[in-house]
Amino acid sequence: MPNYRVTKTSYIENLSIKILNELGIFTKRNNTANTTAVDLVTDINSIKIDVQYSQNFAQWGDLRYDFVSAYSKGIRGKEYSSIDIFKKFESIYGLKVDKVGKYYQKDYLDAIIVLFYNQTLEIINPTKDYMPDKILLVTKDEIVRYVDNNLNELLEKTKLNNKEGLGDLHGSAFLPIKVSKLIESTNCYFDTIENLKNKSNEIKKYLGYKKI
């Protein structure tokens, strides 16, 4: 009997490669040797694409925006105090940012692809392609600009992932972003795979996927 054990993360990354290929954007895994590296890189211009997925989207309608990879108790970190989102986060929650999220790490990513499933994704057979109900493609610059323009409202909804250890508080933080609001305010692509195929040339231009 075949071994069908596979992580959802790995499955979604491989499925994203297939989806992008259908749009004429050819990518490969970039995180096999270094698991902390960005997930995918394109063959033209080496565009760095981070892969995400969201389950039960019909119920929540949210996109998870990871902006703090690590925080701890203590005085506000001097290194990030000049960046508005971290300055306000530290001030509001009394926490110190030790490591910023991927959107704020230099040269880490150029764009994200998010696969949205209206229900819980059940991978019964990993050789089968369980296509998402909707797909989002948005550049880093667009989503960061959206967050900056709506910062106070979004920070009020910050979700903290706390980890207790050795008497200190450690954790990460993300912002739940309503996708309906994001697509109204940014230049991005949000649709089914079939409809996105009809816009493949637009999407290539949008991502900078073209020969120089």
Task: Give which of 188, 191, 132, 179 is closest to 12, Cα–Cα.
Answer: 132
Q: What is the pLDDT of residue 169?
A: 57
**Higher model confidence: residue 204 or residue 6?**
204
Three-state DSSP class for 76?
A: coil
Q: What is the pLDDT of residue 3?
A: 40
Mean pLDDT (whole number) for 115-125: 95
Q: What would the pLDDT profile of 129-143 be if each residue is shown by its tens digit?
A: 999 999 999 999 999
Domain extents for the chain?
8-207
% of the chain beyond a pLDDT of 70: 90
